[in-house]
Chains A and B, each alone.
Chain A
Amino acid sequence: GQSLEQPSEVTAVEGAIVQINCTYQTSGFYGLSWYQQHDGGAPTFLSYNALDGLEETGRFSSFLSRSDSYGYLLLQELQMKDSASYFCAVRSSTDSWGKLQFGAGTQVVVTP
C-alpha cells in the first residue's frame, strides 16, 4: 500500500516563494506527480518526477528524493492566480501502473 502526506494549508504574500512538501510511504515507486486545482475546477497537471532531482517549468519547480521518500513543489514569484489546491500523486511499482493515489491536497492562499 501507499500513503502520502502533505500540509493542509500554506499562506504567503504575492511575490513570495512557497514550498509544498509531500512525503510518501510506498513499497516501490514509479514517480511523483503534481496537480493544481482551483476552487470548483478540474485538476490540471503541473509536473512529473521519475528521477531524483529538480524539474523546472517556469515559475514552478518540482523536486524528488527517492532515498528520502520525499518530494516538493516550489512556487516562485507567487501571483494571486496561484491561490489553489495542490495535490501530489504516486503510482506504486508493486501495484498495477493504473492505480494512482493522491495526497489530501495543500491549499495555497496568496494574499496581497
Chain B
Amino acid sequence: EAQVTQNPRYLITVTGKKLTVTCSQNMNHEYMSWYRQDPGLGLRQIYYSMNVEVTDKGDVPEGYKVSRKEKRNFPLILESPSPNQTSLYFCASSFRPGLPGANVLTFGAGSRLTVL
C-alpha cells in the first residue's frame, strides 16, 4: 500500500530533551515536507526537500532541523524542544514538479507532540 509513515504517533516529552520524528514514504517521491498544525492556524510548512541532500526552510523553521540522506526518509529533529513546539505534525510527499501527480501531496497520519 502506498503510504507515508510517521513515528511516533504520540509523544509526551520534556523541555530540552532531543527528539526525532521519523517519516518514510514508499512511493519513490522526490519531494517531502513537514508541517505543523495548530488550532486556527491551518498547516504551516516547517521544512521541505526537493530531493536527496536538498532541503530548504518553510515558513516556520525555527527550532527544527531536517535531513534527507535517503530518498524515502525525511526525519524531523527537535534538538531542544520547548513548550511552544507542542503541536500536531504532518509529513507529506509527492513527485517532483513536471511529473504527473506533482501537486498531489500524500500525508502521513500525524504525530501529536506535547512538550512539558
Known: A97-B97, A98-B56, A100-B48. A43 touches B104 (CB 8 A): no
Contact status B105-A101, CB under 8 Å: no
Known: A98-B31, A98-B48. A31 touches B103 (CB 8 A): yes
How far is it, in angstroms, between the C-alpha of A35 and the C-alpha of B27 when the chains are bound? 20
How far is it, in angstroms, between the C-alpha of A96 and the C-alpha of B49 when the chains are bound? 11
Contact of B43 among A40, A43, A50, A96 (CB under 8 A): A43
Contact status A43-B40, CB under 8 Å: no
Chain B residues, CB < 8 A from A41: 109-110
Chain A residues, CB < 8 A from B107: 42-44
How far is it, in angstroms, between the C-alpha of A31 and the C-alpha of B104 when the chains are bound? 12
Known: A43-B107, A48-B104. A104 touches B97 (CB 8 A): no
Interface of B, secondary structure class, is strand
A102 at the interface (CB under 8 A from B): yes
Contact status A98-B50, CB under 8 Å: yes
B45 at the interface (CB under 8 A from A): yes
Q: What's the tally of chain B residues with a CB closer than 8 Å to chain A?
A: 26
Chain A proximity of B104: nearest CB distance (Å) = 5
Chain B residues, CB < 8 A from A8: 40
Contact of A99 among B48, B92, B106, B109 (CB under 8 A): B48
Chain B proximity of A102: nearest CB distance (Å) = 4
Contact of B42 among A45, A50, A96, A102 (CB under 8 A): A102
How far is it, in angstroms, between the C-alpha of A33 and the C-alpha of B94 when the chains are bound? 13
Q: What's the tally of chain A residues with a CB closer than 8 Å to chain B?
A: 24
A63 at the interface (CB under 8 A from B): no
Q: Which residue of A lies closest to B109 (CB)?
A: A42
How far is it, in angstroms, between the C-alpha of A41 and the C-alpha of B45 when the chains are bound? 18
B90 at the interface (CB under 8 A from A): yes
A43-B90, A48-B103 are known; give 14 further A-B pairs, CB within 8 A: A31-B103, A41-B109, A41-B110, A42-B109, A43-B105, A45-B104, A99-B48, A100-B33, A100-B48, A100-B58, A101-B45, A102-B43, A104-B41, A104-B42
List residues of chain A with CB under 8 Å of any chain B CB. 8, 31, 33, 35, 40-45, 48, 50, 87, 89, 96-105
